[in-house]
Structures are given as C-alpha cells and as structure tokens.
Amino acid sequence: MIFPRECKEVGYASTKPCGDRVYFLSRYLVREAGDGYEILQVELDPTEKGMLRTILRTERIASMGEVSWYPEKVQLYDRKHLVDLAMQSGTRCTLFSGLDEHLTFVCDPDPRAYLTVHVYDIEPPHTTHYATHREQEKIGILGDMDI
C-alpha cells in the first residue's frame, strides 16, 4: 500500500510553471494525463537548498485508468477511513481532496497494514476506556497511528 504520511508530500502538476523543480517536501506528483490522472514518485536533488528543488528522477506509480478521484472532500487525517473509501473505489489508486484543499492518495489499499487493538474495559455503566477509544476512532486519531 502506498499512502503518503503527509499531504504536504503530494503535489499537483497540471503544467510546469517552475520547469523541473517542485516544492521541497514533494515526494509524489499527481499529473493530468489525457482524460485522467497519473501519479509519479519523485526524487529530488538532496544537495539543493530552498523552497524549490530539482527533480532528479521520476517513477510512475499509477497510470491513467488506474486512478480515480473521490467526488467529495474528506478529512485527510482519518487514514483508516480513506483506506476504506479507496477499497470501494474500484480503481488501483484513489485521489482525495481535503477539507483544507490539500491532496493525498491511497494506492493498492490494504487494511492489513493497520494494527488491531482489543480494548478490555470495566463493566458498565462506567466503560471509560471503551468510550474514549470510540471517540478517538470517530475523529480519526487512531487511523493516523495505523490502528
């Protein structure tokens, strides 16, 4: 499964306004290709400093036809939820737009990459550990930790 840890690692490239230079945190580029999109992994020049860095090498992760764009904006930090949505997309890679306009993707989604945690708690009516776990799961914090 390929799932960038930070949305700051994903850039969108419809043109080349800066030539072969990209934002220094970029590790992946989403690029328009025909009637769809492709996803590239980029290697940047480690000797350069500054906001923009030269791309030394690219590798195509997914080609047009293997990529779909999820139609709604989502919470990008709920990683488990995004994996679930990607599994339902019917394509190898799924792009997601965040509520904050950032972008990420899930390629070859695999829920087995997540840990399973069993929560044992005291008897009702005060099941505090279980209730806390459910709240954390609801807001997506456990997905960020790959649980």
> What is the mean predicted confidence (pLDDT) over 35-54?
93
How far is residue 143's CA from residue 131's CA, in Å, rounded to a whole number? 17
Digit-coded pLDDT (tens) for 93-146 = 999 999 888 999 999 998 887 777 777 766 666 667 667 777 777 776 766 666
Confidence of residue 14 (pLDDT cuts 50, 70, 90): confident
Dihedral sign from CA coordinates of 19, 43, 87, 139: negative
Residue 142: C-alpha distances to residues 80, 138, 139 (Å): 8, 9, 8
Phi/psi zone of residue 80: left (φ > 0), alpha (ψ -120 to 50 degrees), beta? alpha
For 123-138, b/e burial (b = at least 16 CB within 10 A) is eeeeeeeeeebeeebe
pLDDT at position 139? 73
Q: What is the mean pLDDT of residues 23-46?
A: 92
Mean pLDDT of 4-15: 84
pTM confidence score: 0.76
Question: pLDDT digits over 70-88, tens only?
Answer: 999 998 888 888 999 999 9
